[in-house]
């Protein structure tokens, strides 16, 4: 690769996490990568746009790093999030190369193996830019310059990681100690050592020495070389991923892995599986305004602060508060005389924490799961491929919901064994299938669906359809749905 050539890079967006430390906003069915935490766009959208059709990236001086051009991204996500990912990418006018669905989480080694296997036959020289979809990068130009350097090293057969120049003695990140500079790529270094999360005293020493960087979890790999290193260091991961892809199937715009084959893959990070074992590891130190947004304290770090050091999002009133992060999505929230606090208010939960203990929010989520509480899994508003619904009130043998159906969308053809439904159109026009008949229902009109009746709700219009649904019956669980036909391929 010479200084005038353009190196094509395949971005791989890893979107499989649950973001439990950002509860109650981030939840299992709607995790942080699908939330607008750092801008008006979601974190997945920001990540995709960062590597979308932008001008080619070069170093401003001699150009020795060459140019990089990004191809359409490959997305790897949990199968439960497939419609969220597809819709958010569509809204960003980003057409992905593909969306691979993981039936269960198997950490980053498996995800990287899937990406390499998916592209290497079509393009043996492809470079894979591995990007978690839940990271914030404030300096996009510096990021692209770092990618240009990394591409030069990757083209020379190196497995490259991005090392973030530390700004404080951080104990929550792993570190990378750089070795001597690479001859093949100015700005890239051999990796001398990967270091686990240090104590505060050790982190202070790393900061003073200047040869250590935070391990960002972002990588640039030659696809063929990565497969060779996986075969050498993590053959069980590679074998399981190869089988899962080989026995997988296309589903609408998605690719479903074979669940039984993928379950055989050891759950291990790419750091442990390959990077700490290979003799081809390289690091590109960079200052790109990066944070992994791993806890509420990270959002305070990157947020715009008032004169008292507070970061405020939503309808919030502060009096005598200092250095707080306060977010309220639906309710007026007042905070008085508090310092270094995190306060997060959503429809069904409130979090109050000391900012220094923000990492411990995960313990609350673990307790919620142990108690079988739904607040760890979903919000009151539940997103579906056709739109969303929200529970408004629940009583003995009845439940009231608000449904929003996107223009041109339809629910599955279905029936219920234990409940009847009464629908009232609040906004828009509904096309209702009820048994053998089809009925148009307009604003301020209603229709009744008896127990056991085959039915479907559609929005034939060009504006969102809003329905108030009143359910009544002996059992009102979401699993009392018998789908007879579904355009989204759900069972």
Answer yes or no: do 327 and 436 share one domain: no
In which band, very low, low, confident or very high, does the pLDDT at 6 lie, cut at 50, 70 and 90?
Answer: low
Strand partners, 214: 164, 175
Which CATH number fits the domain that encloses residue 444? 2.60.120.10
236: Cα separation from own chain's centroid: 26
Give the CA angle between residues 301, 315, 427 to the nearest 5°: 120
Classify 11 as helix, strand or coil.
strand
pLDDT reading at 466 higher than 60: yes
Angle formed by the axes of helices 82-91 and 43-50, nearest 10°: 60
Answer yes or no: do 278 and 334 share one domain: no
Answer yes or no: do 343 and 410 share one domain: no
Domain stops at, among 291, 324, 358 = 291
3-state helix, strand, coil in the chain (%, to 5): 25, 35, 40
What pLDDT is stored for residue 213 in this prediction?
95
Q: What does pLDDT average to over the chain?
A: 92
Q: What's the structural domain count of the chain?
A: 3
Could you give the CA distance from residue 312 to residue 326 in angstroms, rounded to a whole number?
A: 5
Looking at 296-440, list the stretches that DSSP marks H as alpha helix, in order from N- to C-terminal side: 296-302, 361-370
What pLDDT is stored for residue 53 in this prediction?
58
Answer yes or no: do 129 and 241 share one domain: yes
pLDDT reading at 18 higher than 90: no
Could you give the CA distance from residue 127 to residue 11 in angstroms, rounded to a whole number?
A: 8
Classify 372 as helix, strand or coil.
coil
Answer yes or no: do 279 and 410 share one domain: no
What pLDDT is stored for residue 54 in this prediction?
52
Domain stops at, among 370, 389, 420 = 370
Give the mean pLDDT of 305-333: 96
What pLDDT is stored for residue 56 in this prediction?
46
Could you give the CA distance from residue 96 to residue 382 in angstroms, rounded to a whole number?
A: 25
Answer yes or no: do 327 and 452 share one domain: no
The tokens for 214 are 């935070």
Is residue 358 assigned to a domain? yes
Answer yes or no: do 190 and 70 share one domain: yes
Give the mean pLDDT of 296-307: 94
In which band, very low, low, confident or very high, does the pLDDT at 134 lie, cut at 50, 70 and 90?
Answer: very high
pLDDT reading at 431 higher than 90: yes
| Span between the terminal Cα atoms of the chain, in Å | 49
Give the mean pLDDT of 14-32: 93
269: Cα separation from own chain's centroid: 17
Residue 402: domain span: 381-485
What pLDDT is stored for residue 3 in this prediction?
40
Could you give the CA distance from residue 272 to residue 270 in angstroms, rounded to a whole number?
A: 6
Could you give the CA distance from residue 87 to residue 73 in angstroms, rounded to a whole number?
A: 15
Strand partners, 455: 414, 434
Q: What is the pLDDT of residues 142-184, one digit of tens each?
A: 999 999 999 999 999 999 999 999 999 988 899 999 999 998 8
Looking at 98-234, list the stretches that DSSP marks H as alpha helix, in order from N- to C-terminal side: 107-120, 140-155, 200-209, 223-233
Domain stops at, among 291, 314, 348 = 291
Give the Cβ contact number of residue 244 at 10 Å: 27
325: Cα separation from own chain's centroid: 22
Which CATH number fits the domain that encloses residue 74? 3.90.550.10
Burial 120-133 (b: 16+ CB within 10 A, else e): beeeeebbbbbbbb
Contact 160, 220 (CB under 8 A): yes
Of residues 200, 189, 266, 203, the one with CA closest to residue 230: 266
Is residue 320 assigned to a domain? yes
Is residue 1 assigned to a domain? no
Share of the chain above pLDDT 90, in %: 86
Contact 73, 94 (CB under 8 A): yes
Give the mean pLDDT of 360-382: 93
Answer yes or no: do 350 and 246 share one domain: no
């Amino acid at each position: 690769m010479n200084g005038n050539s353009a190196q094509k890079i395949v971005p791989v967006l890893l979107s499989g996490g649950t973001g439990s430390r950002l509860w109650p906003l981030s939840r299992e069915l709607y995790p942080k990568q699908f939330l607008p935490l750092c801008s008006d766009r979601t974190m997945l959208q920001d990540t995709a746009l960062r590597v979308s059709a932008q001008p080619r990236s070069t170093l401003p001086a001699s150009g020795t790093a060459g140019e990089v051009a990004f191809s359409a991204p490959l997305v790897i996500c949990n199968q439960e999030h497939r419609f969220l990912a597809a819709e958010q990418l569509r809204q960003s006018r980003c057409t992905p190369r593909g969306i691979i669905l993981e039936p269960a989480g198997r950490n980053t080694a498996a995800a990287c193996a899937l990406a390499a296997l998916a592209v290497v036959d079509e393009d043996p020289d492809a470079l894979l830019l591995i990007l978690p979809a839940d990271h914030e990068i404030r300096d996009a130009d510096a990021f692209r310059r770092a990618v240009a350097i990394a591409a030069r090293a990757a083209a020379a057969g190196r497995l490259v990681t991005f090392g973030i120049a530390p700004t404080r003695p951080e104990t929550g990140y792993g570190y990378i100690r750089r070795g001597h500079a690479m001859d093949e790529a100015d700005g890239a270094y051999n990796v001398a050592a990967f270091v686990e999360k240090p104590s505060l005293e050790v982190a202070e020493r790393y900061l003073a020495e200047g040869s250590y960087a935070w391990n960002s979890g972002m990588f640039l790999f030659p696809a063929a070389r990565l497969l060779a290193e996986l075969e050498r260091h993590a053959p069980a991961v590679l074998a399981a991923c190869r089988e899962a892809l080989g026995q997988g199937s296309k589903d609408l715009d998605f690719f479903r892995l074979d669940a039984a084959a993928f379950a055989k893959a050891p759950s291990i990070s790419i750091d442990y599986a390959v990077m700490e074992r290979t003799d081809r590891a390289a690091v590109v130190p960079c200052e790109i305004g990066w944070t992994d947004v791993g806890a509420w304290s990270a959002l305070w770090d990157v947020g715009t602060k008032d004169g008292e050091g507070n970061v405020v999002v939503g309808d919030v009133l502060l009096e005598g508060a200092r250095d707080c992060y306060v977010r309220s999505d639906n309710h007026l929230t007042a905070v008085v005389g508090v310092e270094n606090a995190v306060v997060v208010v959503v429809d069904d939960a409130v979090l109050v924490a000391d900012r220094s203990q923000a990492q411990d929010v995960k313990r609350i989520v673990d307790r919620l799961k142990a108690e079988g509480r739904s607040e760890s899994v979903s919000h009151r508003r539940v997103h579906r491929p056709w739109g969303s619904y929200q529970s408004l009130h629940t009583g003995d043998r009845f439940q009231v919901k608000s449904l929003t159906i996107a223009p041109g969308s339809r629910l599955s053809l279905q029936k219920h064994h234990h409940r009847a439904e009464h629908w009232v159109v609040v906004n828009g026009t509904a096309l209702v299938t009820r048994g053998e008949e089809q009925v148009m229902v307009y604003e301020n009109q209603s229709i009744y669906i008896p127990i056991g009746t085959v039915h479907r709700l559609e929005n034939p219009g060009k504006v969102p359809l809003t329905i108030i649904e009143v359910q009544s019956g002996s059992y009102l669980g979401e699993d009392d749905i018998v789908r007879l036909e579904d355009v989204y391929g759900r069972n």
